[in-house]
A and B are shown apart, each in its own frame.
Chain A
Amino acid sequence: MNTQRREVLKSGSAAGLFGLLVAAGLITTQQAQAAGWDKPAFEAKAMDEALKALGAGKPADSKDVQISGPDIAENGAVVPVGVKSALADTEFIAILIEKNPSMLAASFTLPAGTMADVSTRVKMGQTSNVFALVKAGGSFYMVSKEIKVTLGGCGG
């Protein structure tokens, strides 16, 4: 009973804080509504599952999507990966790593005016194919690149 009361109090104060931030103009209401981490997609353990959770179905190959990264990464904890798309109206980019415990590493939603060119750093448990999933003009495209890892970056 008490724990439930705690939860209610906690969630209540969290909502209050959010409201306060919106009121203060720190975050727009649009952002507040967009809040929602895609848990099923991030917890998917297999390729099909992850693609399904992202609503991608069976993405097509595309020569217009480029994935950049090292051929061999010495340290799997910090692997620079960049995705560039030359497809018109690219609105979504996701980075997936085939042999990680959960495949999806990061996803990016690009509003109009933002270039389809993002780079970040990811962890890789072992040598694996890295996939870049891109949504452009309502269709999904995917390319892959193998990155060899000398020292794994998950666990230890």
Chain B
Amino acid sequence: MAGPMRIRAASNGTETEVKILMSHDMETGQRKDASGALVPAHHITELTATHNGRVVLAAQFGPAVSKNPYLQFKFAGGAKGDKVSVSWVDNKGDKRTDEVVVA
């Protein structure tokens, strides 16, 4: 099972900047292991970020997103103490949700 995400959400009063570092192998399905067999693809497919329950970003990832994906975005509004929650699903059905309080 994948490790927790590191999320940072900072508000400057008018907008909130969110930085997310996920922990995932993001295997492309192109790589071969030592015996020459293809390593099957295993990557995050969808990610959703919400602010106090409202969706602020919906992303779809292909295998070309780097290992341990990083993502940064901004949305209008957001105040200190608000909750930003991020969840992802990968192509094997694994999922993870983490939440952070806006600083």
Q: Which residues of A contact B (CB under 8 A)?
A: 14, 26-28, 30-31, 34-35, 37-38, 42, 77-80, 82, 97, 100-102, 104-111, 113-115, 117-124, 153-156
A122 near B75 with CB under 8 A, answer no
Give the number of A-B contacts (CB < 8 Å). 125
- When each residue 28-68 of chain B gets 1 if its CB lies under 8 Å from chain A and 0 otherwise, what string results? 10111000000000000110101001111111111111110
Residues of A within 8 A of B12 (CB): none
Interface size class of B (residues with CB under 8 A): 35 or more
The main secondary structure of chain B at its interface with chain A is strand
Residues of B within 8 A of A34 (CB): 48, 55, 58
B72 near A114 with CB under 8 A, answer no
- Whether A106 contacts B66 in the complex (CB less than 8 A), given A14-B93, A118-B72, comes out as no
- The 10 A-B pairs of least Cβ separation, nearest first, read A105-B64, A121-B66, A37-B45, A115-B74, A109-B58, A42-B62, A119-B72, A114-B75, A155-B30, A113-B76
B55 near A30 with CB under 8 A, answer yes
Residues of A within 8 A of B28 (CB): 101, 123, 154-155
